Structure 1
Amino acid sequence: MTAVWFVHGNIADGSGDNPFPADVCVSDDVITQIGRAPADAATVELDGMLLTPGLIDAHVHLGLSSPIRAQFGFQLSIAELAADIFANAGHALDAGFTTLRDTGGIDRGVVEVLEKGKVRGPRVLSCGPVQCQTGGHGYYGAAWEPTEMWESHHLPGLVALSLMSGNADELRRNVRESFRRGATFLKLCVTGGVVGGHDHLGDTQFTVEEIAVAVEEARARGTYVTVHAHNNAGIRNAVLAGVRCIEHGTDIDEPTAELMSEHDVALVPTFAVINQLMDVESMDLDAATRDRVSGVRERMAAALKTARSAGVRIGLGTDLIGPHQERRGEELRLRAELESPMQALVSATRDNADILGIGDSVGMIRVGMRADLVGWRKDPLEDASVFADPNMAALVVKAGRIMKGDAR
């Protein structure tokens, strides 16, 4: 094994402890030592940079990387859709994100191309298409179009936005199909959403019994279910059905937060997308979207505080859509305003890794962990706006390989 030492940096290891000066030895793709490099070691000079674990985005939609109205109107070529997906994957890596959890939209082919290194990007965990109730959130076909035509818009190997289920049997068939096509976890929509076609935020979708079918199928494969959910009724249904995680959680109240904590159900809030959706013109969205998103940020911030007080595990996700996803680290800046830069970092590293079920290999700078590292030109714990600027991620290492930055 070839050992390389990253030297003369300060380490914020993902635990929440104060940074400390140390060198990090990487052999192949694993961290093998943390201490001081021997005099004759092969080194990469950090020049006092803060070294953090590679960031993790727990709520990504690479399959929605093109102008939204044009994509939903099926006006774009497969080549353009693919180009936009892989461009955003590269942007994520350059912003310091070495792992993404894609919560609906890409097909297995995208994951495999990234795994093989044919294009630059983070590693990706994918649920494949989102599981949606017939006529619920996640369906963007025309009102006159029969539901069964929706899947004809999928592009095998590239994009499959969602699958529609009218009952528990259809849901079981669809989740089994998703696993067959390479999903490593499941995502359901159990309430309406902000960028909705035929639904409202207050809607609840799928029954407890239906959600439990997906949980049963996921557990049979050693994995889990996460759910898109804004209102308390939908969240409580999902918790009682046995899901692992809630995405968004906009209106979580104290009783719901206590229920989540009791069942060890995590929360992944998503603030960056709210700011993004307010600019409906640049996002090429219907003006009604601005009305739907009004007040969501304030309510989500209150839900974050309530969940934290109840002891809920809280991760971090961006939920960015469209072609402008270069500043993925904006989510950490926004979270730092509500909590602290260190808490934002921990949520984006150790806590996200634990929620995703990969905390034994990524999310912290520890001996035996995979060597996912980011070196920052300025200290983001002193100024969280550094997280939001991809140019501040001077060095990005994924599984021991320098993906951005010049080794010296």
Structure 2
Amino acid sequence: MGGLQIVGATVVDGSGRDPAKTTVTVEDGLITENGTSGERLDADGLTMTPGLIDAHVHLGLSSPIQPQFSFQLSAAEIAADIFATASATLDAGFTTVRDTGGIDGGVVTAIAKGKVRGPRVLSCGPVQCQIGGHGYYGAEWEPTELWSSHHIPGLCALSMMSGNATELRSNVREAFRRGASFLKLCVTGGVVGAHDQLSDTQFTIEEIAVAVQEAASRGTYVTVHAHNSEGIRNAIEAGVRCVEHGTDLDEPTAALMAARGVALVPTFAVVEQLLHDTAGAGLGESTRDRVLGVRERMAEALAVAEAAGVRIGLGSDLIGPAQNRRGEELRLRAVLQTPMEALVAATKTNAEILGLADQVGVLAPGRQADLVLWNGNPLENPKIFADPANAIVVVKAGRIVKDLR
């Protein structure tokens, strides 16, 4: 891999420090202090940021949702949609993602081998849910045990269901066997739900603790899908490290999260998506009714978490075929916080949450050379993040993977 010298860009390094005009040198896929010059890339007038990180993606839900959930699509079509989304993710400036349920280990491997374009992927494999809980979309008449026979091992496996702690232990071991690098449990109902409400809690503290124990024994962690504070408290009590969504997070629970070092990943882009284009995701109008009011409550939860000192990452949670504007999440967060805070959440903080802080997330010597050159200054105009056409050059591990110059 040859060297690369990028000159003339305004560099926003992801740490929160003020932008500065500096030359960034890349050697052997890493950012170096003073590398020998290789290819010289003139980035005058462009803004450089670290490669963005999305901590909540669903590559495995890249097809229209209802046809996929009712098993009307071939494995070939599902695969084509997954790989198209992976490619679009890179084009939007995201060089690392954490897949929080839907893909099986084969997708991660295919991307890592370079057989298809895509970001670096960490995956939980199938989501762990309780029988009939969030993550189960079978028909009410269908026997529960038929659900997992719809999995396509190596490609797509939405969720595994457990009726008790023993079954959960077995299922999380199976998820790890199939390549999961962390676990995700659903501990409350969800917005895209079939059999539950947002106010429901799911899994007991004792059950969640089994997953935490299994993850800890492999040096990794559990994150949870959770909308209400009671479910979040159960999960914290059991020892999880991260909470997704957190829509109705209250102050005492936020304080507990901060005290225990539990991170939060709010997800605003999917809420906008389901409010404005429910059909585009392949979902019915009833989903839109469930999402009303969630945006305002999630914004409130973000402010509560911030005030409590919770570490707050960033995730889009986009589902269905329309996943090309992943940077919309930064634009939405920039309105609720500042553009710099949104960028730091999508780089440095997300890298910490994913356990990759020594590899990615900040532009510094010794880190992976993951970076994006943007057309203009997204700190002045965060809408730039939302349009993939503004990601002029994308570099992943020192290799130019997109170049619109």
TM-score, length basis structure 1:
0.97
- Displacement, 1:283? 2.5
Paired AA for residue 104 in structure 1: G
SS in 2 for 1:169: helix
Residue 78 (1) aligns with residue 75 (2): yes
Tell me the CA shift for residue 109 of structure 1.
0.5
Pair 23,233 (structure 1): closer, same or farther in 2 beyond 3 Å: same
Q: Percent identity?
A: 68
CA distance in 2, matches of 1:400, 1:101: 20
1:264 equivalent in alignment to 2:261: yes
How far, CA to CA, are the matches of 1:320 and 1:212 in structure 2? 29
Q: Give the SS at the match of 2:174.
A: helix
Q: How has the CA–CA distance of structure 1 residues 3 and 281 changed in structure 2, closer, same or farther, with 3 Å as cutoff?
A: closer
1:277 aligns with 2:274: yes
Q: Give the whole-Å Cα distance in 2 for the aligned partners of 1:281 and 1:322.
A: 10
Q: Tell me the residue number matched to 2:300.
A: 302
Alignment counterpart, residue 171 of structure 1, candidates 168, 179, 183? 168
Shift in Å at residue 75 of structure 1?
A: 0.7
Distance 1:41 1:111, change over 3 A: closer
Where do residues 353-368 of structure 1 align in structure 2 (5 Å cutoff)?
A: 353-368=351-366
Total equivalences in the alignment: 404
Q: Is 2:358 aligned against 1:346?
A: no
Q: CA deviation at 1:386?
A: 0.2
Structure 2: distance between partners of 1:387 and 1:287? 29
User: 1:42 Cα shift?
Assistant: 3.3
Aligned residue among 70, 74, 90 for 2:87:
90
**Which position in structure 1 is the counterpart of 2:129?**
132
Distance 1:210 1:252 in 2: 22
Q: What is the CA-CA distance between 1:86 and the residue it aligns to? A: 0.4
1:243 is paired with a residue whose SS is coil
2:13 alignment partner AA: D
CA distance in 2, matches of 1:105, 1:284: 16
Provide the C-alpha distance between the structure 2 equivalents of 1:32 and 1:244, rounded to a whole number of angstroms.
32
Residue identity opposite 1:65 in structure 2:
S
The amino acid of 1:126's aligned partner reads S
- Matched with 1:239 is 236
Kindly state the Cα deviation for residue 180 of structure 1 after the two structures are TM-superposed.
Answer: 0.6
User: CA offset at residue 71 of structure 1?
Assistant: 0.6
Return the alpha-carbon distance in structure 1 between the equivalents of residues 268 and 316 of structure 2.
7
In the alignment, which residue of structure 1 is the partner of 2:332?
Answer: 334
TM-score, structure 2 normalization: 0.98
Structure 1 moving runs of 4+ over 4 Å: none
Show the counterpart of 1:207: 204
Q: Is the 8 A contact 2:375 2:390 kept in 1?
A: yes
Alpha-carbon distance in 2 for matches of 1:205, 1:286: 24
CA deviations over 1:120-177 (Å, ceiling 9, x no partner): 1101000000000011000011101111110110011100000000000000000001
Q: How far is 1:231 from its partner?
A: 0.3
Structure 1 residue runs of 5 or longer lacking an equivalent are: none
Unaligned runs of 5+ in 2: none
